Every structure is written in C-alpha cells, then in structure tokens.
Amino acid sequence: MACAQTTPTVESTKSQASQAWVGRTIPRVEDPPLLCGQGTFVADIAAGDNCLYAAFIRSSVASGRLVSVTAPPGVHLVVAADLTAKPIRPLLLRPEYVPIDMPILADEVVRFVGEPVAAVFGRTQAEAEDAAEQVQVEIDRLPAVVSVADALADGAPLVHPVHFPTDPNVAIDARRETDGFHAAMKAADRRISIQVSCGRQSAMPMEARASHVSIDRSTGRITLTTTAQMPHVIRTGLCDSLGIPEDQLRVVVPDVGGAFGAKQPLAREDVVLIHVARQLGRSVAWIETREENFLAAWHSREQVYQLTGGFSTDGTLLCLQSEITSDVGAYSCYPVTFGVEALMAMNELPGPYACPEYSGHSRAILTNKCPVAPYRGVARPVLTMAMERLMEVAAAELGLGRVEIRLKNVVKEYPHRQATGFVIDPSSHVEALEQAVAATDFDAHARRKEEAAKHGRLLGIGMSVFSESSGFGTSAFAERKMAITPGYEKVQMSFDPSGNVVLRIGASPHGQGLRTTLSQIVADELGVDPSRVRVIHSDTDATPYGWGTFASRSLVIAGGASKLAGAKLREQIKAIAASMLECDARDIRLRDGNAEVTGTSVRVSIDEIARLAHHNSQLLPEGLDVGLDATATYDPKGTFSNSVHVAEVEVDPATGQTTILRYLVIEDAGVMVNPQIVEGQIRGGVAQGIGNALYEELLYDERGVLTTTSLLDFLPPTMAEVPTIEIQHLETISDFTVTGAKGVGEGGTMGAPAAILNAINDALASTGGAVTHVPATPQRVREAIRQAQRGKEESA
C-alpha cells in the first residue's frame, strides 16, 4: 500500500496518524510536582532570593482628592510623583469607546477603595507592612458614584473628567439592530419580558497575584516573574508605560495557582516594582494579600439584563431586544478594556437560539469601584441566565413545555449565522437537549416534586442550554476593534539529537493541562510517545510571540498550530528515513518511535534520525536543512462547543437554603484530546458557577467601601457544597478547527447559574415567589417567598 504524495494537510494527517494518543485519558504531566509540593510559584522564587518586599498603600476612600502622602524618615516611600512611567491606556477603536487613563499610582485623585497610592518596602513582608502602617495619607473626600443609578443620576459626579458622547459616566454605549427588527417585534403574537441581574464577583484564584523583579547585573536586563496569563502582551504594556524597548524585559510565568481571567490584565503594581528594582539595582517582590486581591485585583459580572422576546403563539422566537448595563468600576483593563463584558453581552445574544431579528443596547458604566476584567465566562454566565429565564417565562406564559420551547428554538442547521454575525459551526443542540431530558427523566420531575410537596418539601429542576464560543482567531478579535488584536498562535517544534521533541508555544497555560494535551497531539503526528515531548511556555525569552491563555483558546489554537508543525516535521523525518532505508518517502510511516516501511519490518528509529539530522548532516538528503525543526501558525475563525446543564435542587422554604441534589452536564467538545482534562475543566467551571449562583458576591456599602474583604464574607463553595457533577459527552466533529477540538474552558461557569436559578424558581413556583438576582442567597429566597406571601395576603 502506497501513501499518496503528501503535503501536510489535515486530511493526510487524519489518515496517517493512528490517533493513538488523542482521545485518551493519560495522567497530566503537570500534576506530580503540584501534588507533591514541588511546584514553583512566584512567592517561592522570592523566598529563595534576598529581595525587598513591597507593600502598597491603598485608598480607603471611594472618591477623593489626594492631599498628601507622607512617611517618617527611614521608610522608603514611592508615590506617583516619583515615577516617570506613563499611565496605562487600553484602547478600543470604536466610536463609542471613551479611553480612560489609569495612572500607575493614584495621582491627585483616588477613584476606588483599594486604588494604590504609594508603595513601601522592607526586607520581609512583615517589615513592609510595618512600614506601610507608618505612612500617612490625607484625602479630601468627594461624593462617590457607587451604583449605576448614582452614575446616571442628574448632576452625578464624573468618575473621570472626560467627554462622554452620550450620558455622563457612560464609557461604552453600543447598539446594534437588524433591519427587520421593528417589523418583527410589531408582528409578534406575544412580547415577553424578563429581567435578571448578577452581583459583583471576584474570580478569586487560590493564589493571589504575585510578582518578582530581578535585574541582570551584566546587561541591566529586567526579568519579571509573575502570575500572568498573557506574558508577551503585558511585556508590551509594561514597556510602553516604562518607555523601554521590549528586548530589555523578560517576562516569565512559573506555576500559577489559578487565574480565571483576573490575571489577564496588566497589573499597575508591576510597573512600580520594575521602577524600584531598576532604581535600586536589586530584586523586589510583591505578594498580594487576599484582602488586596478582593479590593483591587479586578472584579467582574455586575450586570443587569432586560430582555424582550417576540414570540409566535407556537413558541417560535421571532425577535429579541436586549438592554444591558454593566457596572465596570473606575478604570479600563489592559489590553481587553472594560468593553469586554458589555460588548460580549450584546453580541453573543441570543446564545444557541435561532432568532432572525435582534436589537441590542449595551452600556458600560463607570463607578467608583474596583475595575472589572474578564472572569471565566465573561458576560456569558449572565446572558445565558437571561436567555434561559426568558425561555422559562415564555414557556409558562405560552403554555408550552420547558423542553419543547427550547427544542423549537435551538439552532438545528449548521453552519448557522446569527443575527449578530457569529457563525455557529456544526454542533448538537437538539441531541444534547434530548440526552439531558432522558438522563434526568426531566418530564417525570413534576411527579417527584408533587410527592415531596406533600411533606412540605420544595423540589425544583432547571436547565440551561448554551453555546460556548472558543478558539477565536484574529478575524474575530478584529471585529471587536481592539487596538491590540489577539488571535493567532505560533509554535516552534524541534527534535534534539536524542530524539526528544521540544515544543515552544506562545500560549501560557496555568492549570489547563496544555503540556499534556499538546504532547498527545504531537505524539500522534510524529509517532512518538507523549513523554518524549516537552512543552516550553510562559517565558518571553524562550517562546514565539503569542497571546497567552484565556477565552478557551489554547487547546484549539496552540493545539492546531502544534498539529500543523508536527505534520511539517513528519515529512522531514520521512524524507530522511527514506534516504536511510533507500525507499520512497511515500512508503514510510511513523509509529512507536520508528520510521518504518509500510508492510515490512524494515525500520529506523526516530532517535537515530534525529541524531543523524544533527551530527551527520552530510548524510541528509539534498534540500533538507540541518536539524529537525518546524514552525507553524494557526489562526482559526472560532468554534462553538455546546452544552446542556440540568440542576435538581431542594429549597428549604423556612431558611431559603438551596441544596443541589443532582447536577448533570451534557457536553459536546468535539474531539476530546484528553477526556479527563475536559471533565476537569467542566467540573471546575461548574463549581465556580455554583459560587456565582448561590454564594459569592462582592458588596460595597453606601460610601463605596468594599465590605467583603475576606473569605469570611466572600463565600466560594467548598467540597461540601459542590455535588457530584455527572458528565456525558457528545462528539460533533467540526471542520472549523484542524484538530476537531472545541474549547471548553468556560462552559461550566456559563451554564450553572442559569440552570440553578431556573431550578430554584421551579421549586418556588408553588409559593408564587421568584428570584431574579444571583447569587440566590437564602436571604433573597426568603425575601421572594415573603414578598409573594404579602402579595397573596393583600389580594385576599
């Protein structure tokens, strides 16, 4: 059997590789050191270095004029006036975007509680904190904008003294509308409206932010070791601010204890550290405290959605109108800006449902609160909750089944272009719904509920259906009009003379298991064991330029690039093998570490080939370069995975406490490179979604002071609150990605709040109460029940 002459294409790859490693659960190579306490985090590096520690002095006032910052002699104090660095100015190239400068340290004005106004230093963290206590900060308090209502009120103070094109404090005021929207809404049989909202949240990584800066004595080059998600990109931002060429700064990311988006933005604190390290010629570290992390390390999610759906009497969604407000805090985050939630919210509606006509209006509103940044799911947990609440309410009002109305409206033909321009690639919305219904006996739940009601127990079941956008390349980000446009990933792959593969990537995994999954992809391409593949990442000196890890992109994009590079390298190996074995390259296949002549036992090991390519280059076939290396770039349009989540809950009517009795996820991630890693992503995401749905909320008081500054007050779910999460897979192969894999990094967080809120409201149906804000805390549930009771008493 002769193979067809190949150029490295996807088709040839599929027929060539036996797919021995992709699709298998192999243990994560990342785990042993982490589980044995041998991980290396920033604080470990600082502890092993004779560095100074920084402590930041932060504003205790939401809005005010900075009068003075003083410290007694002997305290090394750094204030805004000591810095020459430029403010950080994240940019979107959209007409409605109002650029906002974020100074490195607050200068003249403070805009939120927790904003850094100065830094001090000590030989230990305790000494730095001792020094911080000696700093006197005088601030003249000014009226603060603490809520969206405050921000939009007549005569509201301006969070920033800039020109806002529409209303004061409205930094983004975006609209989009299809031509036929108004006619469709007018023609609809029923117009059904809902409102849902989500409290402010923290991504709350277990490890708070941390940075260590050292200066190379001989060259003066700076190394920043930090907890970043986008090492190459923040290097650009830091160098722009500091006015130094990028070659002078190396950014390294060691092990990271969770990021979830909150470590994506450039940290203004890092600019101060670099400034001081250069000034003193000595290493400086900052290990953020949990309290600082709550105060100042980016918040998320505080959004309100009003949706109106125009339905026909049979339940078909004809058109959708959205009115979205996002409370984005006091500054914009670099590089993605505070447009990230507001714009995604508007553009990704109506989720997985076919809806030809759409009108969206989304505003990002400035307040004197901590700025927001992406957090796993970005807008989609809330927009999914809004869309799924609309489906619940519409089903009830139209007298349709909850499954029926969803089945009627989900996208069924692929690819499907949404009204907002997103193209949904081959997915399995109908199959996922049907499988979820069958697995949970969804329709029979009413009987279980009725039975429980006889004993005074409230049971409920709820679902959420959604598509998860993932793996977006340059073209998708270009549409967002980001001044810095992420998208592609580039990889460099090479063999060393011993036959091991080194893969250098621009993505920056920090818990996702990408070293494992990429090694599986490469192993199949090259016919080697995954243990022979070493992935190098998160070091700007050692990796090709890339965008880091966020937005469920790395496996899709870096994985695609790795597959393409592997295909190129495979052809080089085959050419060398053919020359060594004196046969035609088309007859060679790579398997189990060998290049063998198909159908014979004639083979040569890839190790020998690698050695020859380096040490006996005189024997290489003509036209081949020395060594074995290849570079590939992948830049897909984007792909949608899809899911259905089902939650069964019990609500204690007396206390308002919700207990999750069962949680099921039907997930279609396309080709799963490593099923256990996929399931880990889902479970972790659902746990955070449960936090969003029931427990976690950042609260400010009326003066704009954050009151939830410790883990006594901000309550992530623990193992005791997270139930067993059942997962079933579907596998729709989409040709939108070269590996067939779809991103699944955020789906867990996206589906859980909607499914749980719907389940709670199903349980509360008999009381007449409903909750429309998450977290649906026991107190809120009790308020809903009490309000419904009062309503009944009044009408009686």
Partner 1 sequence: MKPAPFDYVQVTSVAEALDALAADPDQSKLLAGGQSLVPMMNFRLARPAVLIDINRADELNGVARDGGRLRIGATTRHLQLQNLGGDDALSSLLRRAAVHIGHLPIRTVGTFGGSLAHCDAASEWCLVARLLDAEISTASRERGVRTIAAENFFQSLFTTAMLPDEMLTAVALPLLDDQHHAGFVEFARRAGDFAIVSAAVLVRTVDGVIRTARVCLGGVSSVPFRSSAAEAVLLGQPWSEDGCAARVSAAAADAAATEVAPTGDMHGSEDFRRDLVRALVPRALAQAADSTRNRMRSR
| Sole residue written with tokens 């805390």 | 777
Q: Does 702 bind partner 1 (CB under 8 A)?
A: no
Residue ranges with strand state E in 227-268? 249-252
Q: Does 789 bind partner 1 (CB under 8 A)?
A: no
d(C-alpha 276, C-alpha 213), whole Å: 9
- In the complex with partner 1, the residue whose CB is nearer, 334 or 714, is 714
Q: Does 699 bind partner 1 (CB under 8 A)?
A: yes
User: Judged by CB under 8 A, which stretch of 40-48, 395-403, 528-536, 718-726 contacts partner 1?
Assistant: 718-726
Q: 172 — phi, psi (to 5°)? A: -135, 130
Q: Which listed residue (107, 177, 629, 721) binds partner 1 by CB under 8 A? A: 721
Q: Does 778 bind partner 1 (CB under 8 A)?
A: yes
d(C-alpha 30, C-alpha 9), whole Å: 30
Nearest distance from C-beta of residue 198 to partner 1, angstroms: 18
Q: 158 — phi, psi (to 5°)? A: -90, 130
Task: Give the torsion through C-alpha atoms of 526, 532, 537, 540, to 10 deg.
Answer: -90
Residue list 287-326, contact with partner 1 (CB under 8 A): 289-291
- Facing residues of 321 across strands? 308, 359
User: Judged by CB under 8 A, which stretch of 70-78, 393-401, 539-547, 715-723 contacts partner 1?
Assistant: 715-723
Nearest distance from C-beta of residue 286 to partner 1, angstroms: 13
User: Judged by CB under 8 A, which stretch of 39-47, 214-222, 595-603, 782-790 contacts partner 1?
Assistant: 782-790
Nearest distance from C-beta of residue 686 to partner 1, angstroms: 16
Q: Which listed residue (10, 396, 580, 715) binds partner 1 by CB under 8 A? A: 715
User: Judged by CB under 8 A, which stretch of 36-44, 433-441, 702-710, 746-754 contacts partner 1?
Assistant: 702-710
Q: Which listed residue (378, 695, 754, 784) binds partner 1 by CB under 8 A? A: 695
Contact between 333 and 156 under an 8 Å Cβ cutoff? The reply is: no
Q: Which listed residue (241, 512, 641, 708) binds partner 1 by CB under 8 A? A: 708
d(C-alpha 398, C-alpha 402), whole Å: 10
Q: Does 712 bind partner 1 (CB under 8 A)?
A: yes
Residue 63 has which token pair? Answer: 């809005």
Residue ranges with strand state E in 142-221? 170-177, 190-198, 210-215
| Sole residue written with tokens 């090259």 | 526
User: Judged by CB under 8 A, which stretch of 18-26, 675-683, 714-722, 753-761 contacts partner 1?
Assistant: 714-722
Number of residues in contact with partner 1 under rule CB under 8 A: 32
Q: Does 788 bind partner 1 (CB under 8 A)?
A: no
User: Judged by CB under 8 A, which stretch of 330-338, 422-430, 530-538, 772-780 contacts partner 1?
Assistant: 772-780
Q: Does 136 bind partner 1 (CB under 8 A)?
A: no
Q: 24 — phi, psi (to 5°)? A: -100, 140
d(C-alpha 435, C-alpha 557), whole Å: 29
Contact between 540 and 251 under an 8 Å Cβ cutoff? The reply is: yes
The answer for residues whose C-beta is within 8 angstroms of residue 456's C-beta and 6 or more apart is 653
The contact pattern for partner 1, residues 346-375, with x = CB under 8 A and - = no contact, is ------------------------------
Of 664, 687, 773, 728, the residue nearest 195 (C-alpha): 773
Tally the residues of the chain: 796
Nearest distance from C-beta of residue 278 to partner 1, angstroms: 26
For residue 672, how many other CB atoms are within 10 A of its CB? Answer: 24
Nearest distance from C-beta of residue 718 to partner 1, angstroms: 6
Q: Does 84 bind partner 1 (CB under 8 A)?
A: no
d(C-alpha 57, C-alpha 191), whole Å: 52
Residue list 645-664, contact with partner 1 (CB under 8 A): 652, 654-657
d(C-alpha 134, C-alpha 210), whole Å: 23
Q: Does 779 bind partner 1 (CB under 8 A)?
A: yes
- In the complex with partner 1, the residue whose CB is nearer, 368 or 777, is 777
Contact between 89 and 99 under an 8 Å Cβ cutoff? The reply is: yes
Which one-letter DSSP state was computed for residue 247? G
Residue list 90-129, contact with partner 1 (CB under 8 A): 124-126, 129
> Which spans of this chain sit near partner 1 (rule: CB under 8 A)?
124-126, 129-130, 133, 289-291, 652, 654-657, 695, 699, 707-708, 710, 712-713, 715, 717-718, 720-721, 777-779, 782-783, 786
